[in-house]
Homo-oligomer: A and B are copies of this chain.
Amino acid sequence: MSARYFGAAVNRLEDPKLVSGAGRYVDDLHPAGLLHVAFVRSQRAHGLVRGVDAGAAARMAGVVAVFTMADFADLASGPMPPLAPHPLIKTPITYWPLAATEVRHVGEAIAMVVADSRHAAEDAAAAVEVDIEPLPVAADAIAALAADAPRAHSDRDSNLAARLAAKFGDADAVFAGADHVVAETIVTHRGGCHAMECRGVVAVPDAMGEDLTVYTSSQSPFLVRRILAAYLGRDERHVRVVAPDVGGGFGPKANVYPEEFAVALAALKLGRPVKWIEDRQEHFLTTTQQRDQIWTVEVAFTAEGRMLGLRGRGVHDNGAYAPYGLILPINALGCFPGPYALEALDVTLDVALTNMVPTSPVRGASRPIVAFVLERMADRVAAHLGLPREEVRRRSFVRADQMPYETGGKARDGSPISYDSGDYRQALDLALSKIDVAGFPARREAALRRGKLLGLGMASCVEDTGLGPFEGATVRVTPAGKVVIATGASSQGQGHRTVFAQIAADALGVDINDVIVDAADTDKFPLGISTIASRIAVTAGSSVEMAAQKVRAKALRFASNRLEAGEQDLEIVDGAIQVKGVPGMSITLAEVSRALAGAAGMSTPYGMEPDLAATAYFESQGLTFAYGSNACEVEIDPDTGDARVVRYVVVHDCGRLINPQIVDGQIIGGVVHGIGNALFERMLHDPEGQPLTTTYADYLLPIATEMPRIEVHHIETPSPRNPLGVKGAGEGGTIPAAACVISAIQDALGPAAPFVAHHPISPQDIVAMLD
């Protein structure tokens, strides 16, 4: 197999369309007869729904219908099925499509107006009168776990949704025998995610009247189908879900939302296409959020700085519902012990229900939180011993000669966590070398002369990627000679079209522009899991490779018969199978496709199965583990507390690179995400659960002018666990970034400053610490 495209920095095939405004996002869909929705939402964080008066609204111009949940009684009722059931959650903690009895966070939808236009719908929604009887509010995760705390759900006995634990080794013995122990409480505050595109859904009843198509800005079209079909009591075959172009996912769009169900119900009820597009205010109020974990941990370590064990407890703010089960807290536990070869681990995590928007995975999905905990503690150990921070890491890392390395932890399915390959120390040493750690004292001096405090930060991480069980792909050569890849894996901008095309074009000897990707349409591929957990290159990418190789073999077999040449004497060049060294002895893939498509009364050529196509599912052979180390410099203005990241170096190993340009884009975007988390993004609520930061004037996002140039360097250690040798790359930029920035701030503040134990850290925080 030639590798004309694999490994090359091919320009993204999707970009000409996307950057010229020709993308087809949900809001670009205008099926004939379309109606528009505005939701009537709760203004209270907790209360009983006593009544909805839609009389005035229903009479307003352009209004077609005003629905509450009761109006859908002939179609469905009750809470939505859980996306990821967990045995610890006995009764699902899920939304209803429209809240019928109790609202549990500000913004929860109670009624919907369907009208000829969005503005008519919004005007009428404002005229719907909702009577809510207030209930006491659980607005803080720690307080919510107190015995006398108000219940987030009036029908539940406790706000403790679950207590989870991860444990290996004999922690008591390790701690008893350790030279030193340090303890800290570390907090990551709640934030949003803020994809460029808000959510949206268009539901279209099929012309045949039996099927419903739901276009949704989702990372999980197959999960939407699964639970929507279950909710409607229909077979999955009657529900088609399509994720068209999606402008960023990052995790929250992996959930299934009540609006998707409500819009589907309205379309079925009215027999017409119905659209809802989330506005940015709704996004602040209703799209799932992240972080908000509080960890109290202690680390045992040797006098030489080798970390031996970690134990502690965390509290996870789950928000009001658990549509995604316990994935996020389970992930947190799975991230220990990170890149460190600990002898013992003993951590528990309490999952607290509160009257706030649910939290769910956001890029990294608890991994940045745990990396923050581990890296803060590594710095703490170094400070305790007066050692360089890198020395504690070097002495504690899993070594390259220990690979594959079983940490002692367990993956989500109960299998042992086993790091596949890599050299963690090499990554850290390279990062420190690239940032020129030796020159840092001089740069710090120079900054000080300008009245600024310069700090050097570092952080390492290891990240499980390529989550199972599978993705699949069908590769087909059309009669026109195009190569069409159908896969369940949806894209939210990652560049799937390009990387899948690189893989298939190499396998089939075609121009990359002749490869088309049909993704995220449940009618075009039968099964899919979700675009989450940095898993698509591993699972779907490998499926594309496997299916394309099957198609290649089939085409060569046909050509071998037709051209009367041995398969070993054939090659595929520019879409034509030719006999090597015999110009003109060739047949195009298009011709093979047409021959195999059949014509009435003709024979099947060479007894071959029709259809120049093949399907393959790559089934996970265990997780693949990307890793890396970051280093950065942060400059602090001691007068204002302003912290500015001035240099940033990433060393990352995600195995073989399919497309370095795309991987670099992922890494750089991920670092920006992490810097935003470290310095800016925080979602605040008052004690009544009212969100206080619901515009970009109050909630700060990182912007380009505040970002340094980010240098990315790769180590390529192929994973032995898939045919491409790849590991996931979508989240690795974010995971250590906040830890790295805070490490640099701590360093800038100097040894007299208190331990920096939370993020985001504000200028006010910094000024206070310098006092």
Give chain A's interface residues, CB within 8 Å of chain B.
Answer: 24, 28-34, 84, 202, 204, 207-210, 213, 215, 226, 229-230, 235-237, 242, 244, 271-273, 327, 411-413, 415, 467-470, 472, 476, 478-480, 482, 484, 516, 518, 523-524, 526-527, 529-530, 532-533, 597-604, 607, 609-611, 613, 617, 619-620
Q: Please give, as numbers and ranges, the residues of chain B lying within 8 Å of A533 by CB-CB distance.
A: 600-601
Chain B residue with the shortest CB-CB distance to A482: B235
Chain B residue with the shortest CB-CB distance to A530: B600
Contact: A272 with B32, CB < 8 Å?
A: yes
- Given A29-B207, A207-B213, A480-B236: A413 touches B272 (CB 8 Å cut-off): no
**CA of A610 to CA of B533 in the docked complex: distance in angstroms?**
20
Q: Please give, as numbers and ranges, the residues of chain B lying within 8 Å of A411 by CB-CB distance.
A: 601
The contact of A524 among B31, B209, B523, by CB within 8 Å, is B523
- Given A29-B208, A210-B24, A611-B527: A601 touches B484 (CB 8 Å cut-off): no
Say how far A215's CB is from chain B's closest CB, in angstroms.
Answer: 6
**CA of A354 to CA of B470 in the docked complex: distance in angstroms?**
60
Contact: B598 with A469, CB < 8 Å?
A: yes
Say how far A261's CB is from chain B's closest CB, in angstroms.
Answer: 18
The contact of A242 among B29, B202, B208, by CB within 8 Å, is B208
**CA of A610 to CA of B540 in the docked complex: distance in angstroms?**
13
Q: Please give, as numbers and ranges, the residues of chain B lying within 8 Å of A202 by CB-CB distance.
A: 207
Contact: B600 with A609, CB < 8 Å?
A: no
The contact of A468 among B469, B527, B603, by CB within 8 Å, is B603
Q: Please give, as numbers and ranges, the residues of chain B lying within 8 Å of A516 by CB-CB distance.
A: 235, 237
**CA of A563 to CA of B370 in the docked complex: distance in angstroms?**
40
Chain B residue with the shortest CB-CB distance to A324: B600
Contact: B235 with A480, CB < 8 Å?
A: yes
The contact of A613 among B412, B484, B526, by CB within 8 Å, is B526
Say how far A225's CB is from chain B's closest CB, in angstroms.
Answer: 10
- Given A207-B31, A208-B244: A84 touches B24 (CB 8 Å cut-off): no
Rank and list the top 3 A-B pairs by shortest CB-CB distance, nearest first.
A32-B33, A412-B601, A31-B207
**CA of A236 to CA of B477 in the docked complex: distance in angstroms?**
11
**CA of A527 to CA of B594 in the docked complex: distance in angstroms?**
11
Q: Please give, as numbers and ranges, the residues of chain B lying within 8 Å of A467 by CB-CB distance.
A: 600-601
Q: Please give, as numbers and ranges, the residues of chain B lying within 8 Å of A327 by CB-CB distance.
A: 600
Contact: B415 with A603, CB < 8 Å?
A: yes
Can you list 6 residue pairs at the A/B interface with Cβ under 8 Å? A208-B242, A469-B599, A476-B526, A523-B523, A609-B619, A611-B617
Q: Please give, as numbers and ranges, the residues of chain B lying within 8 Å of A209 by CB-CB distance.
A: 24, 28-29
Contact: A24 with B208, CB < 8 Å?
A: yes
Contact: A603 with B469, CB < 8 Å?
A: yes
Q: Please give, as numbers and ranges, the residues of chain B lying within 8 Å of A215 by CB-CB distance.
A: 207-208
* 13 extra interface residue pairs, beta carbon distance < 8 Å, beyond A236-B480, A237-B482, A526-B613: A24-B210, A28-B209, A29-B207, A32-B271, A32-B273, A208-B242, A235-B484, A237-B516, A413-B601, A476-B526, A523-B523, A527-B611, A529-B599
Q: Please give, as numbers and ranges, the residues of chain B lying within 8 Å of A242 by CB-CB distance.
A: 208
Contact: A84 with B33, CB < 8 Å?
A: no
- Given A518-B237, A600-B84, A610-B617: A207 touches B207 (CB 8 Å cut-off): no
Q: Please give, as numbers and ranges, the residues of chain B lying within 8 Å of A208 by CB-CB distance.
A: 24, 29, 215, 242, 244
Contact: A469 with B604, CB < 8 Å?
A: yes
Say how far A603's CB is from chain B's closest CB, in angstroms.
Answer: 5
Q: Please give, as numbers and ranges, the residues of chain B lying within 8 Å of A518 by CB-CB distance.
A: 237
Q: How many copies does the complex hold?
A: 2
Q: Please give, as numbers and ranges, the residues of chain B lying within 8 Å of A484 by CB-CB distance.
A: 235, 237
**CA of A478 to CA of B235 in the docked complex: distance in angstroms?**
7
**CA of A620 to CA of B523 in the docked complex: distance in angstroms?**
29
Q: Please give, as numbers and ranges, the residues of chain B lying within 8 Å of A469 by CB-CB distance.
A: 598-604, 610
Q: Please give, as numbers and ranges, the residues of chain B lying within 8 Å of A226 by CB-CB distance.
A: 479, 597
Contact: A207 with B602, CB < 8 Å?
A: no
Chain B residue with the shortest CB-CB distance to A467: B601
**CA of A468 to CA of B484 in the docked complex: distance in angstroms?**
26
Contact: B529 with A598, CB < 8 Å?
A: yes
Q: Please give, as numbers and ranges, the residues of chain B lying within 8 Å of A470 by CB-CB distance.
A: 598, 604, 610
Contact: B600 with A526, CB < 8 Å?
A: no
Chain B residue with the shortest CB-CB distance to A210: B24
**CA of A620 to CA of B607 in the docked complex: distance in angstroms?**
9
Q: Please give, as numbers and ranges, the residues of chain B lying within 8 Å of A84 by CB-CB distance.
A: 599-600
Say how far A253's CB is from chain B's closest CB, in angstroms.
Answer: 14
Q: Please give, as numbers and ranges, the residues of chain B lying within 8 Å of A472 by CB-CB distance.
A: 610-611
**CA of A78 to CA of B473 in the docked complex: distance in angstroms?**
38
- Given A29-B207, A204-B207, A207-B215: A478 touches B600 (CB 8 Å cut-off): no
Contact: B526 with A479, CB < 8 Å?
A: no
Contact: A412 with B24, CB < 8 Å?
A: no
Contact: B598 with A527, CB < 8 Å?
A: yes
**CA of A231 to CA of B603 in the docked complex: distance in angstroms?**
26
Q: Please give, as numbers and ranges, the residues of chain B lying within 8 Å of A604 by CB-CB distance.
A: 468-470, 619-620
**CA of A209 to CA of B23 in the docked complex: distance in angstroms?**
11
Chain B residue with the shortest CB-CB distance to A603: B413
Contact: A602 with B24, CB < 8 Å?
A: no
Contact: B237 with A600, CB < 8 Å?
A: no
Chain B residue with the shortest CB-CB distance to A271: B32
**CA of A327 to CA of B620 in the docked complex: distance in angstroms?**
51
Say how far A75's CB is from chain B's closest CB, in angstroms.
Answer: 17
Contact: A532 with B610, CB < 8 Å?
A: no
**CA of A532 to CA of B600 in the docked complex: distance in angstroms?**
9
Chain B residue with the shortest CB-CB distance to A213: B207
Say how far A32's CB is from chain B's closest CB, in angstroms.
Answer: 2
Q: Please give, as numbers and ranges, the residues of chain B lying within 8 Å of A229 by CB-CB distance.
A: 479-480
Contact: B237 with A478, CB < 8 Å?
A: yes
Contact: B619 with A610, CB < 8 Å?
A: yes
**CA of A85 to CA of B603 in the docked complex: distance in angstroms?**
16
Q: Please give, as numbers and ranges, the residues of chain B lying within 8 Å of A602 by CB-CB distance.
A: 412-413, 468-469
Contact: A529 with B600, CB < 8 Å?
A: yes
**CA of A537 to CA of B172 in the docked complex: distance in angstroms?**
72
**CA of A215 to CA of B206 in the docked complex: distance in angstroms?**
11
**CA of A518 to CA of B24 in the docked complex: distance in angstroms?**
29
Most chain B Cβ neighbours within 10 Å, of A210, A237, A242: A237
Q: Please give, as numbers and ranges, the residues of chain B lying within 8 Å of A468 by CB-CB distance.
A: 598, 600-604
Q: Please give, as numbers and ranges, the residues of chain B lying within 8 Å of A527 by CB-CB distance.
A: 597-598, 610-611
Contact: B29 with A31, CB < 8 Å?
A: no
Say how far A618's CB is from chain B's closest CB, in angstroms.
Answer: 10
- Given A210-B24, A527-B611: A603 touches B617 (CB 8 Å cut-off): no
Q: Please give, as numbers and ranges, the residues of chain B lying within 8 Å of A213 by CB-CB distance.
A: 207
The contact of A273 among B30, B207, B478, B597, by CB within 8 Å, is B207
**CA of A415 to CA of B532 in the docked complex: distance in angstroms?**
54
Q: Please give, as numbers and ranges, the residues of chain B lying within 8 Å of A601 by CB-CB distance.
A: 411-413, 467-469, 533
Q: Please give, as numbers and ranges, the residues of chain B lying within 8 Å of A413 by CB-CB distance.
A: 601-603
